[in-house]
Amino acid sequence: MSETKKVTGIKVKGIGKYVPEMIASNEDFAKIVDTSDEWITQRTGIKTRHITNGEPTYWIGAEAAKKAIADAGIDVSEIDLIICATVTPDFYTPSTACLIQREIGAIGSMAIDINCACTGFDYGLDMARRYLLSEDDVNTVLLVSAEELSKFTDYTDRSSCILFGDGAAAFVLERKYDALYSAYLGADGSGAKFLVSRAMRSENVFRTNKEDFDMGMPETKLHYFTQDGKEVYKFATKALPLAVTKACEKAGISPEDLDAIVPHQANVRIIETAAKNLGVSMDKMVVYIDRYGNTSSASIPIAFCDAVAEGRIKRGDKICFVGFGGGLTYAGIIFEY
């Protein structure tokens, strides 16, 4: 294996997370659909998930952002760019990033929303690094993932409603010279139909064509989420080890050299299969799905925050964030914390 490649990378100056106070246990779900704690735990690894009780997506994102800013020890006036990853915005416009900016008082910074589904934090991290590379206008980036998946969860569908939780996490980022950094990002739009939540339909007053356009997508119940579980599993168990392996190759290291791999927290079986395919121990995988369920793009940074708080991840560790999700999207990011 070649020597670890050093480039202009990222410095994680501060981190923070926020999850709603309300918790829904597996036993709570057994009261509304035909399921049980044993069935859910064995198939997903999930025990509880946090659910909002009226708090909007932008608000939980702002709460996580405030904690990251405090952890970084900076003033909000130092923030040049806010990137928010979310699939559950409160509005089509304004963006969630603009609302977070308003809440934290970082008026004047750029504000961008991105939608890469569960891979959003990885994509946002790489986007932040590319802005920081310019060295012109952007020196500090606030990256937030805020997800309120309870918005599009069909609580009559026992196969999917048990999976999702709400939560947010944020990083304050700066550039770091001569640092470990590698990214492998991609997408496969041919699998778009496997993870779907429908937005507005075109019903304008001038429309005369009453036939629905064939978009090659499945019919959904209003805006509720639907997925092809078997196809998603097949994709995820291949995409996760591929993204880690390719990112490691670009960094000049092997997966064994990593101190921790933080995967998207979708299903513990997916993570176990991916670890086996990578040839690494599950001890290297950071998994907190039992506490939070699937929180889409927020799952990776939430898990990272918990691992740091519990001393599992320390400064100087080589970390890999690996995500996969709707689109279909996938990404692996390697950096030194």
Tell me the percentage of the chain whose pLDDT exceeds 70. 99
Residue 49 token pair = 């998930």
Same domain, 170 and 192: no
> Quick check: is 202 in a domain?
no
Residue 264: is its pLDDT beyond 70? yes
Whole-model pTM: value is: 0.94
Catalytic residue among 264, 267, 305, 320: 264
Band of the pLDDT at 3, cuts 50, 70, 90?
low
Q: Which residues of 23-51 are buried (b: 16+ CB within 10 A; e: fewer)?
A: ebebeebbeeeebeeeebeebbbbbbbbb
CATH of the domain at 26: 3.40.47.10
- The residue with greater pLDDT, 102 or 8, is 102
The separation between CA 98 and the C-alpha centre of its own chain, rounded to angstroms, equals 19
Mean pLDDT of the chain: 93
- For the cut 80, the answer to whether the pLDDT of residue 221 exceeds it is no
Give the rounded percent of residues in the chain with a pLDDT score beyond 90: 81
pLDDT at 194: 81
Known catalytic residue at 209? no
pLDDT band with cut points at 50, 70 and 90 for residue 72: very high
Please indicate, yes or no, whether residues 142 and 188 belong to a single structural domain of this protein.
Answer: no
| pLDDT tens-digit series, residues 73-119 | 999 999 999 999 999 999 999 999 999 999 999 999 999 999 999 99
DSSP letter (8 states) at residue 329: E
Q: Is 294 a catalytic residue?
A: yes
206 in a structural domain? no
Residue 192 sits in the same domain as residue 170: no
Active site residue 50: no
Residues 191 and 290 in one domain: yes
Give the structural domain span for 74.
6-179
The runs of H, that is alpha helices, within the chain are: 26-30, 37-44, 57-72, 96-104, 120-133, 229-251, 268-278, 289-292, 299-309
Number of domains comprising the chain: 2
Task: Tell me the torsion sign for CA atoms 122, 49, 261, 14.
Answer: positive
Q: Which residue has the tokens 């952890």?
A: 71
* CA dist., res. 196 & res. 231, Å (int): 13
**DSSP conformation letters of 99-168:** HHHHHHT-TTSEEEEE--GGGHHHHHHHHHHHHHHT-SS-S-EEEEEEEEGGGT--TT-TTTTTTB-EEE
Same domain, 188 and 166: no
Indicate if the pLDDT at residue 2 is higher than 70.
no
Among candidate residues 84, 116, 118, 161, the one labeled active-site is 118
How far apart are the C-alpha atoms of 295 and 301, rounded to whole Å? 10
**Quick one: pLDDT at residue 1?**
45
- Considering the domain architecture, whether residues 157 and 232 belong to the same structural domain is answered as no
Residue 51 forms part of a structural domain: yes
**Residue 207 in domain:** no
Catalytic residue among 248, 294, 305, 320: 294
The pLDDT of residue 51 is above 90: yes
Mark whether 331 and 245 lie in a shared domain.
Answer: yes
- Model confidence pLDDT, tens digit, residues 139-194: 999 999 999 999 989 999 988 999 999 999 999 999 999 999 999 999 999 888 88
